[in-house]
Amino acid sequence: MAAKKMAIIATKGALDMAYPPLILASTAAALGWEVQIFFTFYGLQLLRKDLSGIAISPIGNPAMPMPVPMPVVVSMLPGMEAMATSMMKAKMKKKGVASLTELRDLCQEAEVKFIACQMTVDLFEFDKADFIDGIEYGGAATFMKFAGETDVCLFI
Amino acid sequence: MAAKKMAIIATKGALDMAYPPLILASTAAALGWEVQIFFTFYGLQLLRKDLSGIAISPIGNPAMPMPVPMPVVVSMLPGMEAMATSMMKAKMKKKGVASLTELRDLCQEAEVKFIACQMTVDLFEFDKADFIDGIEYGGAATFMKFAGETDVCLFI
Amino acid sequence: MAAKKMAIIATKGALDMAYPPLILASTAAALGWEVQIFFTFYGLQLLRKDLSGIAISPIGNPAMPMPVPMPVVVSMLPGMEAMATSMMKAKMKKKGVASLTELRDLCQEAEVKFIACQMTVDLFEFDKADFIDGIEYGGAATFMKFAGETDVCLFI
């Protein structure tokens, strides 16, 4: 039986939505699937060598479990984004959740193919020197050809 | 002909994005499809017995049709999130749109399988006693095996 | 070999997330795929004749590359949403990225089928006269039947 295939289009760059592509890709790769992730729009932030800038915002997300209930105006104050981010990171560390960098390494060791969207790189003037090694640059058309052969294709 | 299969990964917990997983799942189940929903991240909020806390935020979503145009600073004022939520609920009720609870019941009656992501339950310290009956707890790996056999797999 | 098929459920209406459905649909159509887009929730904004109201919000999105770093409270000031939108549009134009209207025309020329979610049109009281020609109105059940036959189905 041929290996299952999965394609992921990763478009988000905030801390919470940065996890799903990497968790799902590493999980599928561990099951022996062939996986490709196409990083585009804000998803390109996940390819930076330094992921410490990946943050989370409590604003506009009433579903985020917060340690203390917080009116919107308070979540707006200077420093609250940094505070939410560091609280979330501390909670993940305490609970033994792998960091984004660890999950990304896992994916690369399991031969998940990382493709950076060339158009977005040009549009936002990302510096390729800021990105990790071992990634390819490509366009939507090439990626769609792979996507058309997959068992699971997700837009995240 | 074997029944079609659909897998949904439900990651959002705000009022607007709480609807699509439940609408699509109940629609597919009504067509005779086999459906599983994997609730993870903020999507776990949809498994609470009491869904009255599910809210909507007009902030950071310039595409939301509002009854009156509203500058961002106004949408920030205390009480605006509650106001947007109650306006949206009133509109849905007036238009005969089923409530989240009704749609969720429909899904369970139609044997849509609900799976709560164990890792997220642990991470956010959700209390299982707050969740409805009839759900399973599982991990991404088990869910991916089902997803690999589906006709449609959506990340919401 | 039969043509590949793709179904897209377009639920977002902000400038950034308005692009992916149209880019992916026009790309797939150019590859000879049969494509349908189901516009629902805020995604219906993309069917308006006049797309000049499509905006972007820097709020609650810490991953958006901004020309200058900006604390959350500043991104809240009156006029910042309009400023972020016009900066993004100017950058896209300078880089030769097609406008939303151009991409939408491309899709329609390539016979991508546009379906507006009748339930959302009723709920938000959209005026059909504001929408472009050449679209159909339908429900989730009809769309799901097409989705079940596709090679790729994305929720955006």
Give pLDDT tens digits for A91-116. 888 888 888 999 999 999 999 999 99
Are the C-beta atoms of residues C64 and C37 closer than 8 Å to each other? Answer: no
**Does the distance separating the beta carbons of C45 and B63 come in below 8 Å?**
yes
Give pLDDT tens digits for A111-129. 999 999 999 999 888 999 9
Q: Are residues C141 and C112 in the same domain?
A: yes
Q: Are residues B94 and B105 in the same domain?
A: no
% residues pLDDT > 70 (chain C): 83
Are the C-beta atoms of residues B35 and C145 closer than 8 Å to each other? Answer: no
The DSSP symbol for B95 reads: T
Contacts of A77 (CB under 8 A, 6+ apart): C72, C73
| C-alpha atoms less than 13 angstroms from C-alpha of C130 in its C-beta half-sphere | 14
Q: What's residue A14's pLDDT? A: 85
Q: What's residue A110's pLDDT? A: 96
Contacts of B77 in chain A (CB under 8 A): 72-73
Q: What's residue C48's pLDDT? A: 94
Q: Is any Cβ of chain B less than 8 angstroms from the Cβ of A73?
A: yes
Q: Is any Cβ of chain C less than 8 angstroms from the Cβ of A36?
A: no
Q: Are residues C36 and C15 in the same domain?
A: yes
Q: Are residues A64 and A90 in the same domain?
A: yes
Contacts of C140 in chain B (CB under 8 A): 23-24, 27
| C-alpha atoms less than 13 angstroms from C-alpha of B98 in its C-beta half-sphere | 15
Tell me the nearest-neighbour CA distance from A22 into chain C, angstroms: 17
Rounded-to-integer distance, Cα B42 and Cα B13, Å: 5
Contacts of C62 in chain A (CB under 8 A): 13-14, 55-57, 81, 85
Q: What's residue A101's pLDDT? A: 94
Task: Give the CATH number for residue B22.
Answer: 3.40.1260.10
Q: What is the mean pLDDT of chain C?
A: 86
Per-residue pLDDT of chain B (156 residues; tens, 9 = 90+): 689 999 999 999 888 889 999 999 999 999 999 999 999 998 999 999 999 888 876 666 666 665 555 555 555 555 666 767 777 788 888 888 888 999 999 999 999 999 999 999 998 889 999 999 999 999 999 999 999 999 999 999
Tell me the nearest-neighbour CA distance from A11 into chain B, angstroms: 12
Which ranges of C45-151 does DSSP label H, i.e. alpha helix?
Answer: 72-75, 80-94, 100-109, 118-123, 140-147
> Which residues pair with residue A35 across a beta bridge?
A6
Contacts of A83 (CB under 8 A, 6+ apart): none
Helix, strand or coil, per DSSP, at residue A8: strand
Q: Are residues B141 and B70 in the same domain?
A: no
Q: Are residues B106 and B39 in the same domain?
A: yes
Query: Which residue among A59, A63, A95 places its CB closest to the CB of B13?
Result: A63
Q: Is any Cβ of chain B less than 8 angstroms from the Cβ of C13?
A: yes
Q: Is any Cβ of chain B less than 8 angstroms from the Cβ of C64?
A: no
| C78 phi and psi angles, rounded to 5 deg | -55, 135
Are the C-beta atoms of residues A22 and A100 closer than 8 Å to each other? Answer: yes
Contacts of C45 in chain B (CB under 8 A): 63
pLDDT at residue C64 tops 70: no
| C48 phi and psi angles, rounded to 5 deg | -65, 145
Give pLDDT tens digits for C91-120. 888 888 888 999 999 999 999 999 999 999
Q: Are residues C3 and C19 in the same domain?
A: yes
Closest CA in chain B for residue A26: B141
pTM as predicted = 0.89
Sign of the torsion formed by the C-alpha atoms of B65, B71, B76 and B77:
negative
> Of all helices (H) and strands (E), which one includes residue A148?
none
Q: Binning pLDDT at 50, 70 and 90, where does residue A5 land?
A: very high
User: What is chain C's Cα-based Rg?
Assistant: 17
Dihedral angle over CA of C126, C129, C135, C136, nearest 10: 60
Give pLDDT tens digits for A23-79. 999 999 999 999 999 999 989 999 999 998 888 766 666 666 655 555 555 555 556
Sign of the torsion formed by the C-alpha atoms of B105, B107, B112 and B113:
negative
Q: Binning pLDDT at 50, 70 and 90, where does residue C14 land?
A: confident
Closest CA in chain B for residue C7: B152
Q: Are residues C29 and C61 in the same domain?
A: no
Q: Binning pLDDT at 50, 70 and 90, where does residue A141 land?
A: very high
The larger pLDDT score, comparing residue C10 to residue B81, is at: C10
Q: Are residues C144 and C105 in the same domain?
A: yes
The larger pLDDT score, comparing residue C42 to residue B63, is at: C42
Contacts of A122 in chain C (CB under 8 A): 95
Provide mean pLDDT across the span C72-89. Answer: 66
Number of structural domains, chain B? 2
Q: Are residues C148 and C128 in the same domain?
A: yes
C136-138 β-sheet, strand order:
C136-138, C113-117, C34-39, C5-10, C152-155
Strand C113-117 and strand C34-39: the pairing is parallel
Residue keyed to tokens 């997983």 = B21
Q: What's residue A10's pLDDT? A: 96
Q: Are residues B85 and B17 in the same domain?
A: no
Which of C6, C59, C126 is the best mutation test for B, with the most CBs of B within 10 A?
Answer: C59
Q: Is any Cβ of chain B less than 8 angstroms from the Cβ of A4?
A: yes
Rounded-to-integer distance, Cα C43 and Cα C45, Å: 5
For Cα atoms A103, A106, A108, give the angle at the middle one, nearest 5 degrees. Answer: 115
**Does the distance separating the beta carbons of A153 and B155 come in below 8 Å?**
no
For Cα atoms C26, C14, C114, give the angle at the middle one, nearest 5 degrees. Answer: 40
Partners of chain A (3+ Cβ pairs below 8 A)? B, C
Q: What's residue A92's pLDDT? A: 81
Q: What's residue B91's pLDDT? A: 81
Give pLDDT tens digits for C120-147. 999 888 999 999 999 999 999 999 999 9
**Does the distance separating the beta carbons of A153 and B148 come in below 8 Å?**
no
Tell me the nearest-neighbour CA distance from A94 into chain C, angstroms: 24
Dihedral angle over CA of C24, A120, B57, C117, nearest 10: -10
Task: Give the domain extent around C120.
Answer: 1-51+99-156
**Does the distance separating the beta carbons of C60 and A155 come in below 8 Å?**
no
Query: Which residue among B57, B61, B123 places its CB closest to the CB of A97?
Result: B123
Which ranges of chain B does DSSP label H, i.e. alpha helix?
Answer: 15-30, 72-75, 80-94, 100-109, 118-123, 140-147
Q: Are residues A75 and A87 in the same domain?
A: yes
Are the C-beta atoms of residues C38 and C12 closer than 8 Å to each other? Answer: no
